[in-house]
Structure 1
Amino acid sequence: MTVSLEQLRRCHLAVDLGAARTRVFVKGAGLVVDEPSAAAVNTRTGALIAVGELAERMTGRTPDYIRVMRPVSGGTVIDIDMAQRMLRHLIGEKLRRTLRRKPRLRAAACTPHDADPLAQRAAVETLVGLGARRVELVDTLIAAAVGCDLPVERPEGTMIIVCGAATTQIAVLSLGSIVTAERIPVGGDAIDHAVVQHLRQHHELMLPSQSVRPLQIALSGNGLTPHGPESTEIHGRDVATGLARSVHVDTAAVRHAIHTPLTAVLDGIGKVLRDCPPDLVADLADRGITMVGGSALLPGFDQMLRDATGVPVYIAERPDICAVLGLGAMLEGKVQPLTLTPVAR
């Protein structure tokens, strides 16, 4: 792991700063914050107007002097000051007073695989601005694997795919460490963009910003699977006239548009398996692949990976919060490391 479990047990809170949502886990209290990573700012005065769910609902509905900002992109903090302000308001004054009573406040944070030193420093500076005296960084892949109860500490191969908003991370784990991993700049946002472009090019329709998510554009149930309905009605704005219009969209065409960016994920899986030792690949044939992250819930995504790889693919029970729950389990001492006793000569 990035840090020892003993160091993580001394931490008081864990933060998962994602491109889509921010989650905060406090030792002894559990998951206390699960809100969108968004903040609405008055550009005239610099005042913070709203954060989280309310700021998310403001997207696309604000006057020109109010801007909805996203201080996190691809799991990396790109605006430290705004991320600190957003976190302060999400945590709340009451919980901040409780945390300030800690003599030496320690925090843990998730970082993407192969995050560069600048990205790591940005995560540390964000939590230091909240009063943390020490910040421990844990790889998102390991935290997510712990959060969905994978046996990461055993000498067995486990494969996990973290499907985020901006990136997809793929790794094979063994003995509590990453054997081989790959990070691909394709996530839920790329899928949204593919759907928007398909509707614009083939139906001359622009979707409202709040309706971009494929799971929210009336493709209910198994709509994106081959056994779903053949068409569905979608409401949007006509590109030429600007008037409201509804069209019947062929779900097979939408499914094809979504699968196009996901081919990069298949290429990443193939690269990880090629770089992995044969013994661990044999373990994966029985154990399969576990999917976590909000984009893992895209209908038909797991079946697509199942067909392409020929191995079982499972979606974690609560895929969107696995990473922060894994960090929380480490903080509360629920993860027992494998003890290796040196052999006497």
Structure 2
Amino acid sequence: MTARLEQLRRCHFAVDLGAARTRVYVKGAGLVVDQPSAAAVNTRTGALIAVGELAERMKGRTPSYIRVVRPVSGGTVVDIDMAQRMLRHLLGDRIRRTLRRRPGLRAAACTPHDADPLAQRATIETLVGLGARRVELVDTLIAAAVGCGLPVERPEATMILVCGAATTQVAVLSLGSIVTAERMSVGGDAVDHAIVQHLRHQHELMLPSQSVRPLQLALSGNGLTPHGPESTEIHGRDVATGLPRSVKVDTAAVRHAIQTPLTAVLDGIGKVLRGCPPDLVADLVDRGIMMVGGSALLPGLDQMLRQATGMPVHIAERPDVCAVQGLGAMLEGKIAPLALNPLAT
């Protein structure tokens, strides 16, 4: 963790800038923003038309001069100016006025594990542009572990899997620090892309981007598992004619199509376990893996990990907001630091 708990307690608000959603926690007020990380821009004038949910609904439905952009990719700000404009509108005038009244405004933000200095700098500059005088950075893995109630401060192993839209991060934590960790460039978007490509190649059907997640839910009886429904009917556009068409999709074929991105997640888990001390691995036999992040709700993902690793796999109560809730707990002083008093000689 790059920021000490004492510094975080002085912060006034916290931001979790994700590739899929942006969340803002204000000290004393709780979670005030939970919106998609999307903005609709008029390319002729540069004017911002919509942000959040409205901009997300406009994706794929706009005329040529309106473009829906995502200023955040993989937890990293790729367009600082657009990220600042998006955050200003998501916060609204009332919250911004409240924050501006705070003397020496401080902010906290999540950063992906092993984020390079340029990515960290982009996050800091984004929040400085909102008026923050100082920005504290917290590793997403630590924040998510705190947010889902894992005892990260104890000398015992806890394993967390942060399933994001663009990246997946996995780590073993002990004594409030990361022992071993890996970040994989696959996430919920990669699974969505694999499903879309499967339908295009096998059924010559183009599926609207906003229909991928409902399709995953439609395929869930017991999830994307052998015990789920054998097939389901979906609607899309014929590749050749452009006309609307319905097809029956074999769920076994869909499960096979998403194996490639999910295999990368399994490889990352194996690499973390191989780099972990044996004593900590022994702790994980009973504790297992805690899944957080929006993509943790992908039907059947927890069961697949359980079968592949032989370890218990749990999904947090509200996996999508664990990281920002963890930041909020640190801001509110709900986390007690581990006291290691030197022995007297």
Same fold (TM over 0.5): yes
Query: Which residue is equivalent to 1:147?
Result: 147
Q: Give the superposed CA RMSD.
A: 1.0
Query: Which residue is equivalent to 1:322?
Result: 322
What pairs up with 1:163-174 in 2 under 5 angstroms? 163-174=163-174
Residue 71 (str. 1) matches residue 71 (str. 2): yes
Query: Which residue is equivalent to 1:272?
Result: 272
Q: Using the alignment, how far apart are the partners of 1:100 and 1:215 within structure 2?
A: 44
Normalising to structure 2: TM-score of the pair? 0.98
Report the CA distance between 1:140 and its aligned residue.
0.1
Residue 255 (str. 1) matches residue 275 (str. 2): no
2:39–2:69: 8 Å Cα contact kept in structure 1?
yes
SS at the partner of 2:299?
coil
Query: Which residue is equivalent to 1:53?
Result: 53
Q: Using the alignment, how far apart are the partners of 2:215 and 2:6 within structure 1?
A: 40
> What percentage of residue pairs aligned between the two structures are identical?
87
Query: Which residue is equivalent to 1:133?
Result: 133
Report the AA paired with residue 43 of structure 1: T
Residue 81 (str. 1) matches residue 81 (str. 2): yes
Deviations 1:245-289 (A, max 9, x none): 010000111111122210001110110000000000000001110
2:166–2:189: 8 Å Cα contact kept in structure 1?
yes
1:215–1:298: 8 Å Cα contact kept in structure 2?
no
Deviations 1:72-111 (A, max 9, x none): 0000000000000000000000110010000110000000
Q: Using the alignment, how far apart are the partners of 1:226 and 1:260 within structure 2?
A: 17
Q: Which runs of 4+ in 1 moved over 3 A?
A: 214-217
Q: Using the alignment, how far apart are the partners of 2:315 and 2:215 within structure 1?
A: 16
Report the CA distance between 1:214 and its aligned residue.
5.8
SS at the partner of 2:126?
helix
Q: Using the alignment, how far apart are the partners of 1:13 and 1:278 within structure 2?
A: 39
Q: Using the alignment, how far apart are the partners of 1:289 and 1:223 within structure 2?
A: 19
2:184–2:264: 8 Å Cα contact kept in structure 1?
yes
Most deviating of 120-129 and 256-265: 256-265
Report the AA paired with residue 206 of structure 1: M
The alignment of Structure 1 onto Structure 2 pairs a total of residues equal to 345
Query: Which residue is equivalent to 2:157?
Result: 157
Report the AA paired with residue 318 of structure 2: R
Deviations 1:277-329 (A, max 9, x none): 00000000011100000111011111111111111000000000000000000
Q: Using the alignment, how far apart are the partners of 2:186 and 2:235 within structure 1?
A: 26
Q: Using the alignment, how far apart are the partners of 2:27 and 2:38 within structure 1?
A: 25
Q: Using the alignment, how far apart are the partners of 1:101 and 1:308 within structure 2?
A: 52
Report the CA distance between 1:234 and its aligned residue.
0.5
Q: Using the alignment, how far apart are the partners of 2:209 and 2:47 within structure 1?
A: 24
SS at the partner of 2:236?
strand
Most deviating of 107-116 and 256-265: 256-265
Deviations 1:28-82 (A, max 9, x none): 1000000000000000000000000000000000000000000000000000000
Report the CA distance between 1:233 and its aligned residue.
0.5
Q: Using the alignment, how far apart are the partners of 1:168 and 1:80 within structure 2?
A: 23
Report the CA distance between 1:218 and its aligned residue.
2.8
Report the AA paired with residue 125 of structure 1: E
Q: Using the alignment, how far apart are the partners of 1:21 and 1:68 within structure 2?
A: 14
Please list every run of 5 or more consecutive structure 2 residues that lacks an aligned counterpart in the other structure.
none
Query: Which residue is equivalent to 2:2?
Result: 2
2:23–2:31: 8 Å Cα contact kept in structure 1?
yes
Report the AA paired with residue 122 of structure 2: A
Please list every run of 5 or more consecutive structure 1 residues that lacks an aligned counterpart in the other structure.
none
Query: Which residue is equivalent to 2:186?
Result: 186
Q: Using the alignment, how far apart are the partners of 1:214 and 1:344 within structure 2?
A: 62
Query: Which residue is equivalent to 1:97?
Result: 97
Normalising to structure 1: TM-score of the pair? 0.98
Report the CA distance between 1:227 and its aligned residue.
1.3
Report the AA paired with residue 219 of structure 1: L
Deviations 1:114-173 (A, max 9, x none): 000000000000000000000000000000000000000000000000000000001000
Query: Which residue is equivalent to 2:40?
Result: 40
Query: Which residue is equivalent to 1:302?
Result: 302
